């Protein structure tokens, strides 16, 4: 108990909650299931989403993910 996991994912498309392709998201749900199976329920997720949608969006998405990682680091 008491273990924390930080998962960093990149996605070429948009698979987050509310996205039209959300039903096809498998990485996050799989990893949450695996870690839950071994008793880890404190899971933080950092996602760079839609990086396959062009260079401008890729840069914005990666910058957002890096900012989220920096914020998690400050809290840890």
Q: For residues 59 and 5, what is the distance between their CA atoms, to the nearest angstrom? A: 25
Domain that holds residue 51: 4-75
pLDDT tens string 15-62: 988 999 999 999 999 999 999 999 999 999 999 999 999 999 999 999
64 pLDDT band (50/70/90 cuts)?
very high
Overall pTM surpassing 0.85 (yes/no)? no
What total number of domains does the chain contain?
1
> Residue 73's pLDDT is what?
81
Torsions phi, psi for 46 (to 5 deg): -120, 125
In the chain, the N- to C-terminal Cα span, in Å, equals 17
CATH number at residue 37: 3.40.50.360
């Amino acid at each position: 108990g008491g273990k924390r996991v930080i998962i960093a994912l990149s996605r070429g498309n948009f698979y987050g909650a509310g996205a039209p392709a959300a039903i096809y998201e498998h990485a996050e749900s799989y990893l949450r299931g695996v870690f839950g199976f071994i008793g880890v329920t404190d899971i933080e997720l950092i996602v760079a989403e839609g990086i396959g949608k062009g260079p401008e969006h890729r840069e914005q998405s990666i910058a957002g993910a890096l900012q989220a990682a920096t914020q998690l680091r400050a809290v840890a």
